[in-house]
Amino acid sequence: MALLSCQGIKKHYRHKHALDGLNLEVKAGEAVGLLGINGAGKSTTIKTLLGLVRKTAGHISLDESQVGFLPELARMPEHITPRSFVALALRIRGRGTSEADAALAETGLGEEHMSRHIRLLSKGLRQRVALAYALAGSPRLIVLDEPMSGLDAIGRIAALELLKKRKAAGAGILICSHIVPDLVRLTDQVLLIHQGVVKQIFPITSHDMDEVVMLEQALRHWSSQ
């Protein structure tokens, strides 16, 4: 069952075609990766799908009841504790706030950081809080824009394991990342976006280095176009 699907999505700014007829589908228990160079249209795709940016044309079908979203971070709320922040996500998803600590612990945030203001946390810890916000309450569709940004190696591995677990539990994942090995480890297919168009679709089957190399070569090819 498709949790998210879109056909012919276009987004035109005054002097630029950010998206030009994009098609995409994310089913339950499936992870789809978006890959592309800077300015290819990956973040715009995500923002358009979630209604943060208004589409110029096309059709989007989204199960709005349970969506977890981790935006590419510019800032985090500073004057609130991670516990209260994640509790908001749980309330929005109709869950009890008592799950907040468990959601934060799942991303590797220590108990001692849960009741400190977010402004006092390091970049990596903030990213864990943001990830906990997106995953709290086990949403059916998880949309992630550069989720590994600022995480250390251990944090990255833990985050990937957590996402794999969610996928295995039936959640659909749409992830946008510059880190090709992460996409290969997690996803079932990767969409290579260039100039707002899906240029190639790569099914990921073996999740090994060969697929990493193949994706990197394709990325290099399209970036030189």
Which positions lie near other proteins, rule CB under 8 A?
47, 50-54, 62, 64-65, 67-69, 71, 74-81, 84, 88-89, 91-92, 117, 130, 133
Shortest spacing between CB 128 and other proteins, in angstroms: 14
- What is the phi/psi pair of residue 86, to 5°? -70, -30
- For other proteins, the closer of residues 107 and 211 by Cβ is 107
* Residue 15 or 79 having the CB closest to other proteins: 79
Report the nearest approach of other proteins to the CB of residue 85 (Å).
Answer: 8
Nearer to other proteins, 34 or 180 (CB): 34
To the nearest whole angstrom, how small is the minimum distance from the Cβ of residue 212 to other proteins? 29
Report, in Å, the least distance between residue 79 CB and other proteins. Answer: 3
Residue 27 identity (one-letter amino acid): K
CA distance 8 to 13: 16
Cβ atoms of 176 and 46 within 8 Å: the answer is yes
Nearer to other proteins, 67 or 198 (CB): 67
| CB closer to other proteins, 133 vs 222 | 133
Quote the least distance from Cβ 16 to other proteins, whole Å: 13
> CB 224: neighbour CB atoms within 10 A?
7
For residue 217, report the phi and psi dihedrals to the nearest 5 degrees. Answer: -65, -40
Q: Which two tokens stand for residue 128?
A: 């864990």
Residues in the chain: 225
Least distance to other proteins from the beta carbon of 204, Å?
27
Q: Which is nearer to other proteins, 33 or 71 (CB)?
A: 71
Annotate 61-108 with DSSP letters as a single string: EE-TTSEEEEPPPS---SSS-HHHHHHHHHHHTT--GGGHHHHHHHTT
How far is residue 130's CA from residue 133's CA, in Å, rounded to a whole number? 5
